[in-house]
Structure 1
Amino acid sequence: MKSPRTAIPVSSDQASADLSKRFHQASTGQTIVITEDGCALARPAPAGQFHGKRIGSMKGKLVIPDDLDAPLPDELLNAFEAGL
């Protein structure tokens, strides 16, 4: 069983003075907690790789009705306004 990782507390002044070191630590999986006056401010984490869809990848797969911006029927509008 792995032991839980211990966060490395770093004051905001230390983090500012040695930012590239702190980025490297976070990118290698070390848990860094940036603190100020003993209170946690931030916990940098690796960004990882983006595996999202490219813009336009849904072209031709969605249909937007011509009346998309038409006024809502009274029954539906009343339900929204009533908070239901």
Structure 2
Amino acid sequence: MKTVNLYEAKTHLSQLVDRAAAGEEIVIAKAGRPLARLVPISRRTERRPLGLLRGRVQVSEDFDAPLPDDVADAFGTLAG
């Protein structure tokens, strides 16, 4: 893991992004204090099949019914 200062990160951002995309983790610091981390975005290697949870998840008929007043009040929402 490499640490670069903020000025260097601004000056060489394109190169740092290329390095991060290649798998390197880069920490960006200001006055020696780490502020952010530049890391590669992980890519999904396989597509998820549709219906993966079919038969395992049940949604009740009233799942979208208004909340009871006490629960709605706890979340600061309007009750049905």
Report the identity percentage.
23
- Counterpart check, 1:66 vs 2:22: no
Going from structure 1 to structure 2, the CA distance change for 1:13 and 1:58 (only over 3 Å counts) comes to same
SS in structure 1 at match of 2:4: strand
- Counterpart check, 1:21 vs 2:11: no
Equivalent position to 1:37, from 31, 37, 42: 31
* TM-score, structure 2 normalization: 0.58
Please give the per-residue CA displacement for 1:6-64, whole angstroms capped at 9, x wherever unaligned.
Answer: x322111211111110011212233311001110011211112135647xx23992442
What is the distance in 1 between the residues matched to 2:3 and 2:51?
44
RMSD: 3.0
* TM-score, structure 1 normalization: 0.56
2:78 aligned residue? none
Q: Which has the larger radius of gyration?
A: 1
Runs of 4+ in 1 over 3 A off after TM superposition: 51-54
Going from structure 1 to structure 2, the CA distance change for 1:60 and 1:9 (only over 3 Å counts) comes to closer
Structure 2 residue runs without a partner (length 5+): 75-80
Larger mean CA deviation between 59-68 and 40-49 belongs to 59-68
Structure 1 residue runs without a partner (length 5+): 1-6
